[in-house]
Structure 1
Amino acid sequence: MKLTIDYLEEEHFFGGTVNDGIFMPYSAGFSRDLCVWHAGNQASSFLLSDRGRAVYSEKPFKYEFFSDHIEVEGDDILVERNGDTLKSAYMAMCKKFAPAGKNTIPPEIMFSSPQYNTWIEMEWDCTQDKVLEYADRILSHGYPAGVLMIDDCWCRAYGDWKFNAASFPDPKAMIDKLHSSGFKVMLWCCPFVSPDTAVFRELEKLGALVKKSDGTTAISHWWNGYSAVLDLTNPAATAWFEKQASALMDDFGIDGFKFDAADPEYYDDDFVFFDGSDRSMQAKIWAEIGAKYSFNELRAGFNAGWLPVVNRLRDKNHSWNDDGLNTLVPDGIAMGLCGYQYLCPDMIGGGMVPDFHRDGFVFDEELFVRYCQVAAMFPMMQFSRAPWKVLSEKNQKICLDAVGLHGDLAEYIIQTAKRCAASGEPMIRNLEYAYPHSGYAMVNDEFLLGEDILVAPQLKKGMSMREVIIPDGIWEDAAGKKYRKGNYTVDTPITIIPVFKRIGK
């Protein structure tokens, strides 16, 4: 079906895909087809307007924005109006899409302490010795223990979820050591299966791999090469995977898993799934599997909001303006509006490996510090590149101060998470969500963490001042200065994160 939806007066739309937050509210010329492309991050099949309207379907659909209307195409698309605000539209979608009985939050340590990931620090050369050294250095440099994620290249092959003995000769001893140091340990995994392996032959015989329309096993071209794909719509495939995960937890004491991939963009048009569904269902089921494990992280997902799942923004560049720092706040806002409540920005400094190897690459300490400051004000923060290796002593201290601030806010963050689990509201909100019809629809460089903390980070290189919009209420900065509704110019030296606490109405 095709629909043309005329705009209401002064109406703005949000939602759809998390990675498109930088484009929200959408303007003429923007389009997205959720059937085939989620832009490397989570997606939900609904659009929300700040006039209370929602355009939605249980299935993925295509949408395109024009100067005075939206054109949508797909199955069973509905348009409803619930109230007249962005929040009322969001809450209506929460009632329709949120699964019953999922009012829990991820483990508190995911919020209270930084997470640490081996990916940028070690790339494809992750070993037991390097992991242990990384953990030791984290503690010796004054960072608190937290969740440590062992990323790609720990296993023998994709789908063969056993430790590579050459790189990890005694994984049980490694994990025991990490646990004794206060870390929780997660392992990276994906639904891809390396061909020409014993596991591939086992799964092919089981009928657990995605097929092509001609009945042969499908091979996907993804960022690490060519692999078969576990068909998550097949109960035999999910049972097989969960058995492998249970063995890792039982045999080695693994606490949980980083569930990567499952994006529809890695599946071709002639891929056929066991239950006859479309490719987006892989991302939905992958998130639902992830929700079975207390310690989890997902980068992709479809209509998987309101689950007790840690959702991370996709890999970002080490850049101020090119899909880097500039996208963290708008994409974080979008993640919340798409129903993904418990969110973490990408690894501090950027998690896009090719970006660090491009011609002419220069590491930017100021960028790393500002990235860390933004991350510290998200519900969760995650390091990979070791700050002590790339920063001056002065900038190392600034990052440690940001970590300390995050720790100081831990109780507030955790209580906010619990309230959001009960209410369905996002943890990170834009001003339009919280203060409707006040002229804030276009504001995407500051955000609210819960109800009472306003964050206006410095996102521009070399700048030591910025404009801040203060909404209704009485707000106080870290120095005790009070603010009421209005526009202000505030100082933002490299040591300062502009944060305002609401102390009155």
Structure 2
Amino acid sequence: MKFTDGFWQLRPGVTALYGQEAYDIAKERSADGDALVITAPTSVIAKRGDTLNRAVLTVTLSSPIEGVVRVRIAHHVGHAWHGGFELPGAGTGRGCVSVTHEGGVLTTGGLTARIAPGAPWSLAFEVNGKRVTGSGAKAQGYVQLADGADVAHGVAGNARTGLGAPSSHTYVHEQLDLGVGELIYGLGERFGPLVKNGQTVDIWNADGGTSSEQAYKNVPFYLSNRGYGVLVNDPGHVSFEIGSEAVERVQFSTAGEVLEYFVIAGPTPKDVLTRYTALSGRPPIVPAWSYGLWLSTSFTTDYDEATVTSFIDEMAARELPVSVFHFDCFWMREFNWCDFEWDPRTFPDPDGMLARLHDKDLRVCVWINPYIGQRSPLFAEAASLGYLVKRPDGSVWQWDLWQAGMGLVDFTNPDATLWYQGHLRRLVDQGVDCFKTDFGERIPLEVSWADGSDPSRMHNLYTQLYNKAVHDVLVEARGEGDAVLFARSATAGGQSMPVHWGGDNTSTFESMAETLRGGLSLAFSGFAFWSHDIGGFEGTPDAGVYKRWTAFGLLGSHSRFHGSNSYRVPWAFDEEAVEVTRVFTHLKMQLMPYLFQTGVDAASTGIPLARPMQLEFPDDPSVAYLDRQYMLGPSILVAPVFSPSGDVEFYLPAGTWTSLLTGEEVQGGGWRRENHGFTSLPLYVRSGAVIPWGARHDRPDYDYLDGLTLRVFPGGSGTTTVAVTTPDGRSESFTVDLAEVTK
């Protein structure tokens, strides 16, 4: 949100008061332990009379976890604040505080916050003694808007449906310094440029597809290449100006009287993510079977058990291993979404069908959403029990977009949550193994929540309650290590309930590229597991797009064939698509010891499986803007092919790189141009890597230690230790002398 008109002026209708000096600095106790509390008048106090008729900002610095500083800026401290995110890692007493004539200092781990006394306002953040950012003159502001104020506020979210971000008459903003060459990443799953400099980003969940600035997964957390990260602790609408209003700063603003944010220390990007996920939540270990290929009915296609069985049997006959079969929306009767009942006209024997699918060694996923259409037999029941979100007048909130007359389950009501979960438990007992939790972004504002939550806060936070309700059922029924979702919407902390997929893309090379950008941005936002619709959702891809996307999609943590109005089995495109699917499914199955261990590591570090190059090579400036390639785990570089010709341009960091597919060794430190057929792509292993290689290519969940091979790649020195964890939790470590290189 832009409040200023150039460098000097405010926009019409805008009044701004800025913290001008640290008038006094005190050491006090807070919920985090020792804290610095600073009174920041909105004018420099030169004489006693200047203290009258004067607003102040109260700024509190504390530390909830080592290496993290909490900053709270409050205009009126008694004003109700709707609260921040649930932060499972927050503790108390993590900072050391001192106040002298030179100012206030809070030190926590390698992070130090320094507030200078007097004017001008100067708050600095240092990592390991090096200043990385700070808050200076006119950075902390309390902004008031007159009616009709001319602020450049692009309406976030689905404006046509009345789901845009709410307006307010008061805002608090902070501006942190943006240094020369400093680059900003993250802020959720965003499909535009990976580097966020120059962008305005609104944190407001919306169902806008992958070809727009809207996002399904909005996370008010960003990571800087200067060795720190920032989380704005507000589940409501947060507006970021990343060098776009004040080009020397990152500005973030929230409505109301209070703004709270955390500065998170590095010094490396991985260190930042590890601390951020320690604070906001880490993913559990997801089951090995979920890494296999997911095959779907697609959305509006016609299907019954015979259709499903024919797909599965044909995949098996062609040696194309499938782990999960997914039933999309029309497993339920039209207009009834959701009633959690198999459409009896199409699936007259669901119990038997599920048993027969399990006999084929498949897991079963079914589509759900948090809406109840008025034709559903459950609508009247939920409405009468008070389980649906209501309007302020007490009537049930309904609309006709998506499902006719649909209502929204109120997950702030514990009884409503238990009721919803009861229907899921019945499906789990029937044989359903996991759920695709679709939607969760179209959450209205003109409503009253059962627990009194602020509607502007609940818009983004709703997805957390929805996914948690479903995830808890699976953990209860299957155990922590066997529970997995396929979720579309999320916000900060959503990484603790994997897996998430990229939403509605289109069937083009351009959409394939924007899908990758979204996944890399989400990885920078603390999400370790991610997937997408192979081939694109909208439309039907041509055979070339399908085959290139298949290779890309199978080189990630989770892989799903899915579309809107067409089947996505490979033989529907051409016979070469069958071969491409066979090559890359078999490759992924043999990589499972490596991939699964990377997932196990993610549960303790928060580091994602599919990694932006910047995360793995932070000291190489050539990778700073790269968003058409990525690292799969710590050792394998993937450069998907985004062209009909098979031409691909990519960058290899310094060192010896070896093609995983051909064994060719090349020297990095520069760009390469290659041309690849459909059964190939640039897939390179870095110097000295040791890849645990599985003995099976027919399934993802096998005993990785049985027949295990350690593939050692040239360019390393000394020794390295490699861990291998099996799906049943056994683990072994192997120490390898890299001088004895074998391929």
When normalised by structure 1's length, the TM-score is 0.90
Unpaired runs of 5+ in structure 1?
A: 357-362
Aligned twin of 2:535: 349
Cα separation, 1, equivalents of 2:584 and 2:302: 29
8 Å contact kept, 1:220–1:267: no
Deviation at 1:133, TM superposition (A): 2.5
**Which residue in the other structure is 2:394 paired with?**
215
1:372 to 540, 546, 550: 550
Name the residue aligned to 1:255.
Answer: 433
**Alpha-carbon separation, structure 2, partners of 1:452 and 1:172:** 44
Task: Please say which structure displays the higher CA radius of gyration.
Answer: 2
Which one of 631, 635, 644 corresponds to residue 452 of structure 1? 635
- Residues 330-351 of structure 1: CA distance to partner in whole angstroms, max 9, x if unpaired? 22212222222122122x2112
Equivalent position of 2:447 in the other structure: 271
How many corresponding residue pairs? 483
Post-superposition CA distance 1:238-277 (Å, at most 9, x none): 1011110111122x211121111111xx122212222214
- The alignment partner of 1:77 has SS state of strand
Are 1:305 and 1:338, in contact at CA under 8 Å, matched by a contact in 2?
no
Q: Would you tell me which structure has more helix in proportion to its own residues?
A: 1
Indicate yes or no: 2:584 matched with 1:408: no
Q: Are the equivalent residues in 1 in contact too, given 2:523–2:612 (CA < 8 A)?
A: no
Write the deviation string for residues 104-130 of structure 1: whole angstroms up to 9, x where unpaired.
32210111x21111125xx25343332
The answer as to whether partners of 2:203 and 2:220 remain within 8 angstroms in 1 is no
Q: Aligned to 2:641, what secondary structure does the other structure show?
A: coil
Given that 2:373 and 2:404 are in contact with CA atoms closer than 8 Å, whether structure 1 keeps it comes out as no
**Corresponding position of 1:359:** none
Q: In the aligned structure 1, how far is the partner of 2:570 from the partner of 2:204? A: 41
Which of the residues 48, 53, 63 maps onto 2:228?
53
Partner secondary structure for residue 340 of structure 2: strand
Indicate conservation of the 8 Å contact 1:34/1:45, yes or no: no
**Pair 1:350–1:35, CA change in 2 (3 A):** closer
How high is the sequence identity, in percent, across the aligned residues? 21
Aligned 8 A contact 1:209 1:218 in 2: yes
CA distance in 2 between partners of 1:40 and 1:155 (Å): 27
Q: How does 1:145-184 map to 2 (within 5 A)?
A: 145-156=322-333, 157-184=336-363
Tell me the equivalent position of 2:681: 497
Partner SS state of residue 22, structure 1: coil
Counterparts of 2:432 and 2:308, CA distance in 1 = 14
Is structure 2 residue 610 aligned with structure 1 residue 428? yes
Query: 2:95 maps to what in 1?
Result: none
Whether the aligned pair in 1 keeps the contact of 2:368 and 2:438 (CA below 8 Å) is yes
Contact 2:280 2:492 in 1 (8 A): yes
- How far apart, in 1, do the equivalents of 2:548 and 2:581 lie? 9
Query: What is aligned with 2:100?
Result: none
| Coordinate RMSD, CA, aligned | 2.1
Distance in structure 2 (CA, Å) of the matches to 1:118 and 1:387: 9
1:12 aligned to which of 170, 173, 183: 183
Alignment of 1:280-291 (within 5 A): 280-291=460-471
Letter matched to residue 283 of structure 1:
T
**CA–CA distance in 1 between the matches of 2:641 and 2:505?**
17
Give the SS at the match of 1:338: coil
The unaligned stretches of length 5 or more in structure 2 are 1-171, 209-213, 475-482, 689-715, 717-743
- Aligned pair 1:317/2:506, yes or no? yes
Give 1:184 deviation, angstroms: 0.6
Q: Which moved more, 1:384-393 or 1:206-215?
A: 384-393
Shift of 1:451: 0.5
Give 1:499 deviation, angstroms. 0.5
Residue in 1 that maps onto 2:99: none
What is the one-letter code of the residue matched to 1:372? T
- What secondary structure does 1:327 align onto? helix
Secondary structure of the residue that 2:286 maps to in structure 1? Answer: coil
Q: What letter is aligned with 2:536?
A: G
In the alignment, what sits opposite 2:91? none
1:259–1:299 CA contact under 8 A, matched in 2? yes
CA–CA separation in structure 1 for the residues paired with 2:197 and 2:403? 35
Deviation readout 1:387-414 (Å, 9 max, x if unpaired)? 3443222232122212221222122111
Contact (CA 8 Å) 1:17, 1:338: kept in 2 or not? yes
After alignment, is 131-140 or 152-161 more displaced? 131-140
Of 167, 187, 203 in structure 2, the residue corresponding to residue 33 of structure 1 is: 203
How far, CA to CA, are the matches of 1:336 and 1:175 in structure 2? 34
**SS state at 2:620 partner:** coil
Contact 2:206–2:216 (Cα < 8 Å) also in 1:
no
1:186 aligns with 2:365: yes
User: 8 Å contact 2:233–2:262 — kept in the other structure?
Assistant: no
Distance (whole Å) between structure 2 residues aligned to residue 281 and residue 366 of structure 1: 39
Q: How many Å separate the matches in 2 of 1:105 and 1:220?
A: 38
Equivalence map 1:95-244=2 (5 Å)? 95-98=278-281, 104-111=284-291, 113-120=292-299, 123=300, 125-156=302-333, 157-244=336-423
Query: Per-residue CA shift, 1:448-489, capped at 9, x if unaligned?
Result: 01101111121122233x222112443211222223331223
Structure 1 residues 88, 289: closer, same or farther in 2, change over 3 A?
Answer: same
Shift of 1:170: 0.3
8 Å CA contact retained: 1:467, 1:489: yes
Query: Structure 1 residues 373, 165: closer, same or farther in 2, change over 3 A?
Result: same
Q: CA deviation at 1:180?
A: 0.6
- 1:62 correspondence with 2:236: no
Q: Deviations over 1:142-196 (max 9, x none)?
A: 2113111111011241231111111110011111111111111111111000114
1:91 maps to which residue?
A: 274
Q: Deviation at 1:25?
A: 0.8
* Residue number among 219, 227, 237 corresponding to 1:44 in the alignment: 219
CA offsets 1:430-454 (integer angstroms, 9 cap, x no match):
1111111311120011100110111
1:326 maps onto 2:510 in alignment: no
Higher strand share: 2
Aligned-pair CA distance for 1:21: 4.0
Mark the CA change 1:45 to 1:31 in structure 2 (over 3 Å): closer, same or farther. closer
Find the aligned partners of 1:36 and 1:177 in 2 and give their Cα distance.
38
CA distance in 1, matches of 2:550, 2:352: 32
Distance verdict in 2 for CA 1:35–1:166, change over 3 Å = closer
Alpha-carbon distance in 2 for matches of 1:427, 1:328: 16
Question: In 1, distance between residues paired with 2:357 and 2:520?
Answer: 34
